[in-house]
Amino acid sequence: MNKTRIVCYGDSNTWGYDATTGLRYPDDVRWTQLLAERLGPTCQICEEGLSGRTSVFEDPLFEGLNGLTSLTPILGSHNPIDLLVIMLGTNDCKQRFSATAQNIADGVRRLVQKAQSLAVWRSQPQILIVAPILIGQGIYTVPRINEGMGAGCAEKSWQLPQLLAATAVECNCHFLDANAVVTANTVDFMHFDLESNQRFCELLADWIEHSGII
């Protein structure tokens, strides 16, 4: 039996960062693992989350975080793929990248177009763009986090759902807004709180089950 292979490509909210502990959410809490349990043994969930990952930007402080340059080898390692879930954009909001919200959406467009061009698909490319969590204004009250993200990061994130929805239409792929169910923690105001893992799992699983992909 060949399992339906779903690649979840994202940043720390896909990796499963817990702002309360500074560690990774346990396997029985993390949304990617909950998704695997919900969808059952006929599906394989490939966790490809990396803290700090951007859509297309090179980070001058940390190497290896450009989502575009790592996309080809990562997708190639999971070939054949039935569904690619992309949830990126939060780190692109950092002030040091000097990107507008439209720039960020354009970066996600480049990712999608690159993925569509690769010979990694079991049949036709199926890509779901997920609008990431909105950054709360409380981030500006947390000195270390505020210094890392910089001015305007929250406001940029608020524009992304609408822009990414338009990007999905332009790229002939699918769209889902995580903010329908997720809430940020009150430690750094930019990562899923514990309960959001289960809620997002259910939202994504429902979408997958009704998509016809499995």
What CATH number is given to the structural domain containing 172? 3.40.50.1110
Average pLDDT, stretch 18-41?
Answer: 97
Instruction: Name the residue range of residue 113's domain.
Output: 4-211
Report the pLDDT value the prediction gives residue 123, as an integer from 0 to 100: 93
- At residue 212 the predicted structure's pLDDT band, cuts being 50, 70 and 90, is confident
Helix axis angle, 153-170 relative to 101-117, nearest 10°?
40
Give the number of domains in the chain: 1
d(CA 43, CA 53): 25
d(CA 64, CA 54): 10
CA 95 to chain centre: 19
What residue type is 58 in one-letter code?
E
pLDDT digits (tens, 9 = 90+) for 103-112: 999 999 999 9
Radius of gyration of the chain from its Cα atoms, rounded to whole angstroms: 16
Report the pLDDT value the prediction gives residue 1, as an integer from 0 to 100: 77
pLDDT digits (tens, 9 = 90+) for 49-89: 999 999 999 999 999 999 999 999 999 999 999 999 999 99
